[in-house]
Amino acid sequence: MREATLSCSVTVGFAQSCGLHLIAPPLWGAETSSKLGGPVRTWLELGRRIKVWWTIFPLSRWASTFTRSGRPSTREDDDQIKTVWHLPQECYEEGRVPEDDFNSVSSLYALESGAALVSQDSPETIRSKIVILLERATTLGERAPEETNNCDPSDPFWLDFYCTDNALAAFIWSLPPLQRETQGLIGPDVSPTELVPELTFGHVMAYGAVIQLHNPLAKAGHDESRQKCFQAARGVMRVARLILAFKHTMSVVLSVTWFVAFQVYSRELNKVTEEARNPPMISYRDSSAPGAGDLISDMTVLLTLMRRLAEIYPVVCMSLLPPCVLPGKPPLNPSCPRIAPQVTELQEWYDKHCKIDARYSLS
């Protein structure tokens, strides 16, 4: 994992030295194109250069985020990147490339630019955007508890925090549907809808980014962030149930979001259990809020998906997943040769705190 992270970093550095981060109208990177054999000669060649950048740059951001190899200075880096977002291939084939669209990374945080609205974007561009938003959300989320003493909304940190929060809200709101009508023959044994596999990553990671942004504040006792985390975790669950229902294959990187969503659910279950044991004199609990049984049912799905990934990719999951932080759980025991130890810790907590009931169990 460290070698892969280093390779990503070196590759991005090489791409920047070639000017691949500066491809934007009206020059389309011509000022640095001598390092790439000259300026682009066709729209297809332009598309290839843009695609190369948006393939390697998000990988580097992803690696630096979840291998904990040191955070990039996102604010400065983002302002230096000018390459426009990659368009669908047919746009380059037909020469339909807008020369007045300057949106790039920093545009994601300016709502008036519309860059965070992704309903018309290709799956590749959706993946690029959410990885960048996820990295920013993770970095800001980790710093947020330290910044709570300074509540000035004009402070640069909180401006970044709320701009990222708004960008994620716009991104989630505009995501294309995750299901479509089944292509091909329809029969009694064929579902009328099917999952759109290339959009799964964007949906799961968008909700995961909200959790990464707000979870540290939620742990510190901020109720608004706790509610946002739980709403995002329920969004994760909607996708998780579809993946389970359609028997869809999963990228191992989804384990990060399954993991943090499970921790959010564990916090909510602990809260519901405590309220049941010691009911408040005046209860303002929403009657539509899920009860313990609903929470356990959702946690069972998440644990099922995590175990599938952890059994196939134990070393990768162990590298990606952070230590467990669950109510009433001792520190992580790292000795587990057959499955990622973090998932084993979740299983042990689940077996202890969730009363297993046939209604909630999954085969």
**Model pTM score:** 0.84
Give the end of a domain, one of 48, 67, 102.
Answer: 102
Tell me which of 210 and 294 has the higher pLDDT.
Answer: 210
* Per-residue pLDDT, 316: 58
Give the end of a domain, one of 64, 80, 102.
Answer: 102
pLDDT tens-digit readout, 282-293: 555 555 567 888
Say which residue the tokens 């904990």 belong to: 68
* Per-residue pLDDT, 359: 39
Omega before residue 26 within 30° of 0, cis: yes
Asked if residues 251 and 201 have their Cβ atoms less than 8 Å apart, the reply is yes
* Domain co-membership, 10 together with 56: yes
Asked if residues 209 and 168 have their Cβ atoms less than 8 Å apart, the reply is yes
Give the end of a domain, one of 74, 102, 130.
Answer: 102
Tell me which of 4 and 277 has the higher pLDDT.
Answer: 277
Which of the four pLDDT bands, split at 50, 70 and 90, describes residue 270?
A: confident
The reply to whether 229 falls in a domain is yes
pLDDT tens-digit readout, 232-244: 999 999 999 998 8
Which of the four pLDDT bands, split at 50, 70 and 90, describes residue 304?
A: confident
* Per-residue pLDDT, 134: 93
The reply to whether 283 falls in a domain is no
**Average pLDDT value over all residues in the chain:** 79
Compute the distance between CA of residue 59 and CA of residue 44 in angstroms, rounded to an integer. Answer: 23
CA dihedral 142, 16, 110, 261 (to 10 degrees): -40
Compute the distance between CA of residue 170 and CA of residue 113 in angstroms, rounded to an integer. Answer: 12
